[in-house]
Chains A and B, each alone.
Chain A
Amino acid sequence: MVQSASLDHTFAALADPTRRAILSRLAAGEATVTELARPFEISLPAISRHLKVLEKAGLISRGREAQWRPRTLRASPLKDAASWLEEYRQFWEQSLDRLEEFIGELKAKEPDDEPQR
């Protein structure tokens, strides 16, 4: 089972379109803060705040080179989020299979249980 607290962090971090765009950019390879800020109409401090949220959620990490400190995408929290989503998909798909079966039984057993048709 995936830890609920870390999922909360991941989902909160992903809830913002700028942060999702930053992650998409990092999926193509590491980048510096200046490079990450370029496509957006927002200030460097604003970008830094977004990066801090992503870092806290463990979705990105900083390079060791002090001068450039390129950011890199860390995939494992995203993988946890994906498998969590997949678990729900299966949970509902199987529930809906059973619902269809059950409704078949209801239709056969209780034809007068439907107020208006």
Chain B
Amino acid sequence: MSLSGSVLTERDLVLTRIIDAPRELVFKAWTDPDKVARWWGPKGFTTVDHDMDIRPGGAYRFTMRSPEGTDHRKRGVFREIVAPERIEFTFAWAEPDGRLGHETLITVTFEAVDTKTKLTLHQRVFESVEWRDSHRTGWTSCLERFAEYIVTV
């Protein structure tokens, strides 16, 4: 059964591209909000609204419009920004009422290859739920420790 086989082995989405430009420039095209708005989306889509707080913990939201005129909203939070090597951010589609779809984690790395840049995009699909849960646990234990600490002072 090839269908289950492909889903089971292909748990993550990994894409690589060699881009004919120095990585500082490629990194800038990924981290300057107005530049991102120029290319992020499928062919024929336009960015009609964007807001991007490029720092760890900063949120972004982009609205892109399809050639048919339907709006699609992208939402997420930056987890890591290491210029000009790597960015990591969460990603989810948002419904018009603000509800978020399945959340994933995306890591993009930029590697200098002579005068070109090797871009690798890694979208983690299946770990998302557990990742989010483990995060919640992290915060909970943090708060518990804080509570323990505060009674001692």
Chain A residues within 8 Å of B, Cβ to Cβ: 4, 7-8, 11-12, 14-15, 20, 23-24, 27-28, 73, 75, 78-79, 81-82, 84-85, 88-104, 106-107, 113-117
| Assembled-state Cα–Cα distance A27/B6 (Å) | 12
Q: How far is the CB of B63 from chain A (nearest CB, A)?
A: 15
Chain B, residue nearest A100 (CB) = B19
* Cβ contact within 8 Å between B39 and A95: yes
- In the complex, what distance in Å separates the CA atom of A15 from the CA atom of B7? 12
Using CB atoms and an 8 Å cutoff, list the residues of chain B in contact with chain A. 1, 3-8, 10-11, 13, 15, 17, 19-22, 24-26, 28-29, 35, 38-43, 100-102, 115, 119, 121, 123, 125-130
**Closest Cβ–Cβ distance, residue A15 to chain B (whole Å):** 5
Q: Are B15 and A92 in contact, with the CB atoms below 8 A?
A: yes
Contact B10 A85 (CB under 8 A): yes
**Are B41 and A95 closer than 8 Å at their CB atoms?**
yes
Beta-carbon contact of A27 and B29 below 8 Å: no
The answer to whether A78 touches B42, judged by C-beta atoms less than 8 angstroms apart, is no
Judge whether A12 and B130 touch: CB under 8 Å: yes
Verify A82–B6 contact, CB threshold 8 A: yes
Cβ of B47 to closest chain A Cβ, rounded Å: 11
Interface class of chain A by DSSP: helix
Main SS of chain B's interface residues?
mixed
Q: Are B25 and A101 in contact (CB under 8 A)?
A: no
Q: Specify which chain A residues have a CB less than 8 angstroms from the CB of B35 in the assembled complex.
A: 102, 106
One of B8, B15, B42, B101 near A24 (C-beta < 8 A): B8
A114 x B10 contact (CB < 8 A):
no
Contacts of A96 in B (CB 8 A): 15, 17, 119, 121
Residues in B with CB closer than 8 Å to A4 are 100-102
A11 & B42 in contact (Cβ 8 Å cutoff): no
Given contacts A11-B102, A28-B1, A97-B43, 13 further A-B contacts (CB under 8 A): A7-B102, A12-B129, A15-B130, A23-B4, A78-B8, A85-B13, A91-B41, A96-B121, A100-B19, A101-B39, A103-B29, A106-B21, A117-B22
Q: Is the pair B13, A115 in contact by a Cβ cutoff of 8 Å? A: no
Structural contact, A89 and B7, CB atoms closer than 8 A: no
